[in-house]
Structure 1
Amino acid sequence: MCVNFLPPAKRQLAEHFRVIEPDEDWPGETWQGYAAPIVVDVGQGPQALLASYGMVPRSRIPAGVRPYTTMNARAETVGEKRAYRGAWRVGQLCLVPMQAFFEPSYESGRPVRWRIGAADGAPFAVAGLWRAWDEPDGTLSYSFTQLTINADAHPVMRRFHAPGDEKRSLVVVPRADYDAWLGCRNPEIARALLQPCADDFLRCEPAPLPRRGARPADDLFGGQGDAG
C-alpha cells in the first residue's frame, strides 16, 4: 500500500482546504515517521495539524517489540486492530491532503514506482484516522494513518502491487464531502463513506525510484501498514 506521498505546500493547504496552515515547515515528500499536515475537526471547524505519518510512531513501540508499520489501515478491520480501534470508535477522522501518492506497478515484470494524482493536477485529500500523544513536557503530538479499501475492480488502482496480491487503494474524499467526513462520529456511517473514487479522477504516470543512496532507509515498497 501507499507508503510515500507528496503533501501540499502551505499556500495550497490554505487555499484548497480553507484552513490556517501550521507554523512549522514539513518535508516536500512524506515517508513513515515524517511530519505532514492533516485536517481535523474537534468541534470548532476544520483545522490543520502537523502529524507523524504512521498511527503508532516507532518511538512509541515498547522495547522488545519488533517494529511494525501503521501507515495504512484496512477499512474492513480498522475497528478491530489495537493500533486503530480506539480512534476509529470515537470518530477521530481526518483528511490527509496531498498532491500525489506513489504505488508500485509490476506491469513491466519488475516493481516500478508510479505517481498517482488528480487528473486536473489539483490537491486532493484521502481519508485518514488520527490520534494525540502526551509528551513529557505537557504538550501533545499527533500521528495519523490512511484508510484503504479493496480495489480489485478499480480501473486505475487495480494496476498496482505485486501479482497475486489483493489490490488496495487509498480513499479519495470528494471535496463536497470534506465536512461530512470530518464531522462523522458513527463508525458504521464512516465506513459507508469509504468509496472508490470516480474512474476518471486519477491520473498516473511512471516516477522511477531515485538511486538507492538518495532515498530513505525504509524499503519504499515494504509492508502493508496494517499491523496493530
Structure 2
Amino acid sequence: MCSHYEAPTSAQLAATFSVQVEQGTLDLWPGYLGPFLRRSTSVGEMDDEGSGLEGLYGSFGLIPQWSKDTKICRRTYNARSETVAEKPSYRNAWRRAQHCIIPAAAIYEPDWRSGKAVATRIARADGEVMGIAGLWEEWRDPNTRQTLHSYTMLTVNADTHDFMRNYHRPEDEKRMVVILPRGLYHDWLQAPMDASADFMRRYPADRLAVIEPSHPTREV
C-alpha cells in the first residue's frame, strides 16, 4: 500500500502527458493536494498526442460524496481492487468508471528486512514517470458549498511479485499500486465499468528499481 509518493514536476507532466498543470508540492501524503489526470469532460475522443486529457489537483485520499468532512481521506488513499466495487467509500466512483491516472516520479515503501522500516524510493527502471491507475471523486463541502476533487490509488496483491514482495512488514500481505503501461493510458481512462478489472495487473518486477531520493523525505 502506498501512503507516500513523489509527484512529477510540471515539466515532466507536460513531457509525458501533454498537459499543463501548475507546479505544486512534490512530496505527497494522504490529505495533501496532488495532480491527477482524467478524461476531459469537454473533449470527445482522445488522440495519440494526449489531447482530451484534463489535469486537476485533488486530495490524495478519496472523499465520497456522502462524507461530512475530509478526514476520511487519511484512510482512503489506496483502494483494494478485489473489494473496490462493494466498499461504500469507492463504489460510486467504480460503478461510474471515474478512472484517473495519478502521475508519480516515485513511490515510497517501507523495507523491513533490516528489522526496522527503511523508507525506500521506488521508480520505473527506465526513469519515466509512473502512471498509476486510480479513481477520482468530486465532493462538495456542506458548509461552504465549495467543490473538492480527490483520488485514490488502486492496488493488487503482490505476495509473489519478485520486487514488491520485499516491502512492508514480513507478516503482512504484500500489496502494490497498479502501474499502467504507457500504451494503456487512454484505454484505462475510457474503459467502462465492466472492463475496469481487466487493468488490475502487476507491473513487471524487472521494470522497477530502487533509486535514491532527490530531496529529503519524512520517515514512513
What's the TM-score, normalizing by structure 2? Answer: 0.86
Query: Percent of aligned pairs with the same residue?
Result: 37
In the alignment of these two chains, the number of paired residues is 207
Query: For residues 106 and 80 of structure 1, do their structure 2 counterparts lie closer, same or farther at Cα, with a shift above 3 Å needed?
Result: same
Could you tell me which residue of structure 2 aligns to residue 33 of structure 1? 31
**Match 2:82 to one of 70, 76, 88:** 76
Q: Larger relative CO (CA 8 A, sep 6+): 1 or 2?
A: 1
Which residue type is aligned with residue 32 of structure 2?
A: Y
Query: For residues 32 and 81 of structure 1, do their structure 2 counterparts lie closer, same or farther at Cα, with a shift above 3 Å needed?
Result: same
Q: Which runs of 5+ in 2 are unaligned?
A: 44-51
Kept in 2: contact 1:92–1:185 (CA 8 A)? no
Matched, 1:109 2:115: yes
Pairing 1:209-224 to 2, within 5 Å after superposition: 215=218, 221=220
Matched, 1:129 2:135: yes
**Match 1:153 to one of 160, 169, 190:** 160
- Which 4+ residue blocks in structure 1 deviate beyond 4 angstroms? 60-63, 65-68, 135-139
**Match 1:89 to one of 95, 101, 104:** 95
What's the TM-score, normalizing by structure 1? Answer: 0.83
Could you tell me which residue of structure 1 aligns to residue 147 of structure 2? 140
Separation in structure 2 between the aligned mates of residue 144 and residue 121 of structure 1, nearest angstrom = 24
Secondary structure at 1:113's aligned position in 2? strand
Q: Which runs of 5+ in 1 are unaligned?
A: 222-228
Secondary structure at 1:200's aligned position in 2? helix
Kept in 2: contact 1:61–1:67 (CA 8 A)? no
